[in-house]
Structures are given as C-alpha cells and as structure tokens.
C-alpha cells in the first residue's frame, strides 16, 4: 500500500513539476569518492571523468552522478601511523587537529588541484557540450568524529581540547563545521554546491547521543544536511532484521539515510540480503538504498618512509573478493535487477559505493561486458535525472557511419547486422538501450573472418562499436 501511495503522489506531482526521489535532498544519485588518505587514488579530472559523464556506444553523452560524497574514515600522520576519523576508532588512534585540516584540504583540492577543484574544472569543461544541469553538482563531506578516548587532538585559541570531555568534543566538531564552511566559501567553486556532511560511523549504538544531536543541529544552522549510510545485522539463514540504530536515524538529527544491503562482498551471501534491505527501506519512510560494487584496481598501499601511496594490481587470491571474477560481475547485475524490479530506481534516492574507482575501471577496461554494464547503469541514471529535471536525454554526437578506405565496416540487413572482415576481429554490437548483443572477444580465429560476419538480430536500432569508433545501424 505504501508503494501505491508514493507512486500516486509522484504521479500527481509530475503533472505540475518534476518529481524528486526524496522530500529532503534533490541528489538523485550520490557517488562515494574515497579521498583524504595517502593510500587513496589521486582524484584528478581523468579519474573523475566516468563519474561525471558517460559516452554511449553511439557517441551520445549525458551527465552521470549528480552528488559526490567525499568520504574517508582513516588516514596516516607524519609518522606513518593510522589515525581515525570515526569508523576505525576501535583499532587505531584518534586523529589530531592537523589531520582534520589535511583531510579537508585534500577533499577540497586546495593545494593539489585534485578533489573538488578537479571536479569543478571538469564540469566547467563539459557544460558547453552537455548543457547546464538542473542544479549544481552537490558535494557532501566527511564529518570527522571527536573520539572519546583521545586527549591529543590539539588546541583552539590557545585552549587544549581533551576529547575525553563531552564539552571539548562538541567544541572540536563545531570548530570543524566553521572551517568547512569558511574554506568552501574561499574556494569559490563555479559548479559545485555544499550540500551537507556525512557520519563515517555506520551505527550510532554506543555513541555520544548529546554530542551527535548538538553537532547535527549546528551543521543544519549553517545550511548543511546530515547524511548517513547504516548497515543491517543478520546472518545468511536469518529472515529477521534486528532493530538497531538504523531505526532511529531521524531522532539523532540525520536528514538523509541509505541502507547498505551488504550483499556484494561475500559470494555465499544469498540474494535475500538485497530483498530484505530494500523492504527495510520501504518500511522506513524516507530511506534510500546503497548499491555496492568493486573495481579492477582495488589495491593501494601507503609507504610511511616515502609518504606516498602506490597502486597495485590485485593478485588472483584476493581479487576474487573484490569483484574481478564473473561471480562478482554478476552480483552487481543482481543489484541493478533488484533495484529495478523492487522500484528502488523508480522512487528512492540511491548512493553508490564503488570501491576505490570501480566506475573508472568499468569504463576503461574495454571489455564488452563491462561496457554493457556501464551503459545499462548510465541509461538508468539518465532516466532518473530526466524524471527529476536535472538532465535531458543523451545528446547525440551525430555519428552515422564508419568508413576505412571508403569501405563501410558495418550495416544492417533484414534480420541481421553485417560486419566487414576489416572490423570483425574487434567488434561489439549493442541494442539501443546499451545491452550487449554480440562481442568478437569470445569469437573466431582470423581464418573464420575472411568474408566478415553476419550476426542475427531482431528488428530495431543497434550500435556497432569497432575499436574506438561506432556506427548506428537499422535492422529490418
């Protein structure tokens, strides 16, 4: 019944204006960007690219995510010791004032030109082609948490703060709010809007409730919303979702909450994890969902002696855990299927955990299955953005046909697509909605391609991609 009421309300509102997925935030799709620690990637314009816009097989383009969560839960101090911003406090030491300041400037890109600075510059480059979106891209920042066991944080105006005292914890976290707003205003971004802050701890159980409520109120007075992504506790054999602090998120001042399904990360977790989490969100008014997946280049290490982060390729043993195998590729497809079939994409705000840089990995891998998956996700996001008025349908690049030495490499037949032998070794065919129909990656030897190939296809429009070029064809 609740779904019917919401659907009717959105339908009614759409008669008068664009419908939003939330009554609190106008961020449709929030991308989690892990930035702020030395072991994270350098979030420059190149890395942000696939998160900001998508190019479809026919050459058309659209915006991707309309919100970015600059998230980090721990980093390293000058001695190479891990320090916590909230979530990892149980096993590493609390951060100090200089660690909080470094976190903020890393995420802003104050000195590096990465982070928000690179994001703003990239959007500026794209607006002439894609047009102004319905609102500026929104940014949410990590809210570093004052840890109760820490007495080393530092001082404000000559007074040393001791976070074992509640009043000092509140003072320190309000100080950060002032710094965030001040530094944001100094940055003068053209295309970004500060939307809120995010609690890195994924449960409020055992937390300082007075501090939480007072700090959240202080941020709201500065125009910032409070975001949170809690998890649900259960085992593989349990159909019961235990009540925990996820039930009371609004009571502590959280404005926007998304539920983590926790399905992706272990191959023995059943699909009912997804179904349970989605039903939980439906049963708690205003909640959204998180989609979870990893990429191909998960590994980064931090060398304390050189104070540099280094990227490494996953080994087969640990790669299986983080999405290299077909098993985990399918698990991302499961998320998309369930989010479609259970109306998440139709009615809820969605956050996207993509590991270190999984969207970039999918876009740059060149594998047809990855291209198909990213095309599908981008098409869904675009449909959502068109629904809310934030974006329009993909802008066409006007590609009609591909030629090499005056020869057409692909064209439509009755009931099939023909690909000439010059292109048959490196070809993929996609339906109009971005689904992979054929790929020569799984194909034949060179001797089989002397006269090209004919791929049976149903009536419709298709995009044939040959190397870096594309052609639209019509099958009768």
* CATH number reported for the structural domain that contains residue 181 in this entry: 3.20.20
- Can you give the pLDDT at residue 422? 65
**Has residue 398 been placed in a domain?**
no
Count of other CB atoms within 10 angstroms of residue 60 = 18
**Has residue 288 been placed in a domain?**
yes
List, run by run, the mean pLDDT of 10-residue segments along the chain (476 residues). 48 48 96 92 96 90 97 88 77 88 97 97 97 97 87 93 93 97 98 96 77 95 96 63 67 93 86 92 93 72 59 43 62 95 96 93 82 92 96 67 54 82 76 84 44 82 81 84
- Parent domain of 446: 403-475
User: Quick one: how far is CA 394 from the chain centroid?
Assistant: 20
* Residue 259: closest CA among 378, 385, 353: 353
- Which token pair is 213? 């409520």
Q: Are residues 361 and 448 in the same domain?
A: no
Q: Are residues 110 and 213 in the same domain?
A: yes
- Which token pair is 233? 């506790």
Q: What is the DSSP letter of 395?
A: B
Q: Are residues 57 and 201 in the same domain?
A: yes
Q: Are residues 154 and 233 in the same domain?
A: yes
Task: Mention every residue, 6+ apart, whose C-beta is less than 8 A from residue 178.
Answer: none
Q: Are residues 72 and 211 in the same domain?
A: yes
Q: What is the DSSP letter of 288?
A: E
Q: Are residues 420 and 290 in the same domain?
A: no
- Which token pair is 321? 């855990």
* Residue 104: closest CA among 137, 147, 71: 71
Q: Are residues 306 and 378 in the same domain?
A: yes
Q: How many domains, in total, are found in the chain? A: 2
**Has residue 120 been placed in a domain?**
yes
**Has residue 395 been placed in a domain?**
no
**Has residue 32 been placed in a domain?**
yes
Kindly tell me the sign of the dihedral angle through the C-alpha atoms of 380, 383, 387, 393: positive
End-to-end CA distance of the chain: 44
State how far the alpha carbon of 172 is from the alpha carbons of 95, 217, 248, 366, in Å. Answer: 12, 15, 25, 47
**Has residue 393 been placed in a domain?**
no
User: At which of 330, 357, 388 does a domain end?
Assistant: 388
Q: Are residues 251 and 222 in the same domain?
A: yes
User: Quick one: how far is CA 130 from the chain centroid?
Assistant: 20
User: Quick one: how far is CA 5 from the chain centroid?
Assistant: 29
- Can you give the pLDDT at residue 209? 85
- As a whole number of angstroms, the distance between CA 48 and CA 42 comes to 10
- Can you give the pLDDT at residue 397? 44
Q: Are residues 30 and 148 in the same domain?
A: yes
Instruction: List the beta bridge partners of residue 54.
Output: 62
Task: Mention every residue, 6+ apart, whose C-beta is less than 8 A from residue 324.
Answer: 296, 314, 316
**Has residue 17 been placed in a domain?**
yes
**Has residue 396 been placed in a domain?**
no
Give the residue carrying structure tokens 């074992």: 164
* Residue 276: closest CA among 234, 244, 248, 243: 234
Q: 118 with 43: CB under 8 angstroms?
A: yes
Q: Are residues 282 and 361 in the same domain?
A: yes
| Residue 9: HSE in the Cβ half-sphere, 13 Å Cα cutoff | 11
Q: H helices of 308-357, where?
A: 316-319, 326-341, 344-347
User: At which of 362, 388, 414 does a domain end?
Assistant: 388
Which three-class secondary structure state does DSSP give residue 158?
A: coil
Task: Mention every residue, 6+ apart, whose C-beta is less than 8 A from residue 151.
Answer: 162, 163, 164
User: At which of 337, 362, 388 does a domain end?
Assistant: 388
Q: Are residues 67 and 215 in the same domain?
A: yes
- Can you give the pLDDT at residue 380? 96
- Can you give the pLDDT at residue 324? 47
Q: What is the pTM of this model?
A: 0.81
Q: Are residues 250 and 326 in the same domain?
A: yes
Element (H, E) at 289: strand 288-292
- Which token pair is 247? 């039930």
């Amino acid at each position: 019944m609740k779904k019917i009421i919401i659907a009717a309300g959105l339908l009614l509102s759409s008669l008068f204006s664009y419908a939003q997925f939330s009554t609190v935030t106008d961020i449709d799709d929030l991308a989690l960007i892990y930035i702020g620690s030395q072991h994270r990637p350098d979030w420059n314009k190149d890395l942000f690219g696939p998160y900001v816009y998508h190019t479809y097989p026919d050459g058309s383009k659209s915006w991707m995510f309309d919100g970015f969560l600059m998230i980090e839960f721990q980093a390293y101090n000058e001695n190479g010791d891990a320090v916590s911003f909230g979530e990892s406090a149980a096993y590493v030491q609390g951060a100090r004032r200089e660690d909080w300041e470094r976190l903020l400037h890393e995420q802003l890109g104050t000195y590096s030109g990465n982070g928000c600075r690179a994001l703003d510059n990239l959007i500026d480059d794209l607006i002439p082609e894609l047009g102004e979106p319905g609102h500026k891209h929104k940014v949410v920042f990590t809210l570093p948490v004052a840890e109760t066991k820490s007495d080393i944080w530092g001082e404000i105006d000559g007074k040393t703060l001791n976070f074992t005292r509640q009043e000092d914890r509140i003072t320190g976290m309000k100080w950060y709010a002032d710094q965030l707003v001040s530094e944001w205003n100094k940055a003068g971004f053209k295309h970004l809007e500060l939307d809120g802050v995010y609690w890195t701890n994924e449960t409020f159980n055992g937390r300082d409730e007075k501090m939480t409520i007072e700090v959240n109120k202080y941020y709201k007075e500065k125009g910032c919303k409070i975001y949170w992504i809690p998890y649900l506790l259960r085992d593989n054999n349990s159909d019961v979702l235990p009540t925990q602090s996820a039930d009371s998120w609004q009571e502590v001042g959280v404005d926007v909450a998304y539920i983590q399904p926790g399905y992706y990360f272990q191959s023995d977790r059943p699909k009912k994890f997804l179904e349970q989490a989605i039903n939980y969100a439906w049963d708690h008014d205003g909640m959204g969902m998180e989609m979870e997946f990893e990429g191909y280049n998960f590994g980064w290490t931090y060398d304390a002696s050189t104070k540099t982060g280094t990227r490494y390729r996953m080994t087969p043993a640990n790669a299986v855990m983080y999405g290299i195998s077909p098993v985990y590729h399918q698990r991302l497809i499961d998320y998309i299927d369930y989010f479609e079939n259970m109306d998440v994409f139709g009615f809820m705000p969605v956050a996207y955990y993509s590991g270190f840089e999984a969207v970039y990995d999918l876009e740059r891998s060149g594998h047809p299955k990855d291209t198909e998956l990213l095309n599908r996700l981008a098409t869904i996001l675009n449909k959502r953005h068109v629904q809310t008025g934030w974006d329009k349908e993909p802008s066409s690049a006007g590609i009609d046909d591909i030629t090499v030495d005056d020869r057409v490499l692909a064209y439509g037949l009755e009931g099939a697509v023909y690909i000439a032998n010059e292109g048959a070794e490196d070809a993929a065919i996609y339906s109009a909605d971005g689904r992979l129909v054929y790929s020569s990656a799984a194909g034949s030897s060179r001797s089989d391609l002397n006269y090209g190939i004919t791929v049976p296809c149903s009536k419709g429009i298709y995009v044939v991609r040959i190397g870096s070029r594309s052609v639209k064809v019509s099958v009768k």
